[in-house]
Amino acid sequence: MLHDISVSNHETSDLGSSIVMKETWDTRIQRAERLAIERRDSAELLSFYAALLGAQKQVYEQLRALKSWLPSGSLERDLPVLRTMLPGLLEIVEANAPAALASEARSLLSESQSEIDGMLIEYWQAPSDVQFFAKAFLQPYASWLYESGAKPDRNLVEVENRCPFCGGKPQVSVLQIKDASSDSGGRDLVCSTCLMSWPFRRVICASCGEENPDKIGYYHAPDYDYIRVEACDACRHYIKTVDLTRFGFAIPLVDEVAAASLDLWAREHGYTKIEMNLLGI
Ligand SMILES: [Zn+2]
Ligand SMILES: [Zn+2]
């Protein structure tokens, strides 16, 4: 079913469908709802993701609506305001998530303030893709930091394959048509924490920086011809790339979740994802 489509710089693109949609919480939610109908094999996953995105949107809008308060970028300082928004997200997760996650949400709802603060600060300073609640809750906060111009206070290393704004790992890679002078050849990485994107050279491993094209393989599944796995044989890590020049209506963050069959393939072939998505895939 899956096949190696060659390892080279040559990539086909259909310039005719290069419509790049402006991504907002609403476009993400709509895309997840639509894919939940179209992709029956991932329907449950996508319906939950749509609900989760709705919960994240609620956090984001509550933050934006505060007229006399802007975040400082120091999570510790912002927590007194931010933490009041967590129960709303937990309730939505409890009502929509698979049983195990729903029960975790329920127990967090009765957790002490210091436990909750500790969990959020730990993620902020030492992020891990298995910390579902902190990651889900802090994505809208970090997005709002970016938009409101606050500098995130995180002690994370500044390297090329980390978000230049907040230091987060890349969640998904995106190909799109940009002006010809762009150094990255039209490739961006999307941050797993603040969800902004930054340009990143095209043929290079987003984990270890391997540049030898013979070490980087591209794999497609026929049912998602605009999404591919980019797997590195030097460090055995992979990331998925959503090609907006082939399908301009994709919302990378969401379509990446839908194409879970590609992750299954990558895992079976011994590759580890650079950053699991919120659905644990
Ligand atoms: Zn970021
Ligand atoms: Zn690598």
For the chain, the average pLDDT equals 91
pLDDT, residue 21, reads 54
Instruction: Identify any residues that bridge with 4 across adjacent strands, giving them in sequence order.
Output: 219
pLDDT, residue 22, reads 74
Dihedral angle computed from the Cα positions of residues 20, 231, 31 and 160, in that order, rounded to the nearest 10 degrees: -60
Residue 56 has, within 13 A of its CA and on its CB side, a CA count of 29
142 token code pair: 């970090």
159 token code pair: 């390297």
* Digit-coded pLDDT (tens) for 115-125: 999 999 999 99
* Digit-coded pLDDT (tens) for 201-216: 999 999 999 999 999 9
Ligand 2 centre to CA of 231 (Å) is 8
Residue from 85, 81, 168, 170 nearest 126 by CA: 168
8 Å CB contact between 225 and 246: yes
Ligand 2 centre to CA of 242 (Å) is 19
Flag whether pLDDT at 181 surpasses 80. no
Q: Which ligand is nearest to the CA of 238?
A: 2
Q: Which ligand is nearest to the CA of 151?
A: 1
Ligand 1 centre to CA of 94 (Å) is 27
Ligand 1 centre to CA of 142 (Å) is 7
C-alpha 11/C-alpha 229 separation (Å) is: 14
User: In three state form, how does the secondary structure of the chain look?
Assistant: CCEECCCCCCCCCCHHHCCCCCCCHHHHHHHHHHHHHHCHHHHHHHHHHHHHHHHHHHHHHHHHHCCCCCCCCCHHHHHHHHHHHHHHHHHHHHHHCCHHHHHHHHHHHCCCHHHHHHHHHHHHHCCCCCCHHHHHHHHHHHHHHHHHCCCCCCCCCCCCCCCCCCCCCEEEEEECCCCCCCCCCCEEEEECCCCCEEECCCCCCCCCCCCCHHHEEEEEECCEEEEEEEEECCCCEEEEEEECCCCCCCCHHHHHHHCHHHHHHHHHCCCEECCCCCCCC
Q: Which ligand is nearest to the CA of 206?
A: 2
pLDDT, residue 17, reads 38
Q: Which ligand is nearest to the CA of 274?
A: 2
Ligand 2 centre to CA of 172 (Å) is 15
Ligand 2 centre to CA of 274 (Å) is 9
This prediction has a pTM of 0.91
Ligand 1 centre to CA of 60 (Å) is 15
pLDDT, residue 7, reads 32
Residue from 257, 225, 247, 258 nearest 40 by CA: 258
8 Å CB contact between 230 and 239: yes
Ligand 1 centre to CA of 185 (Å) is 21
Grade residue 155 by pLDDT with cuts at 50, 70 and 90: confident
pLDDT, residue 156, reads 87
Q: Which ligand is nearest to the CA of 169?
A: 1
Burial of 235 (0-12, 13-18, 19+ CB in 10 A): middle
* Digit-coded pLDDT (tens) for 2-29: 444 333 333 333 333 334 557 899 999 9
236 token code pair: 């055995």
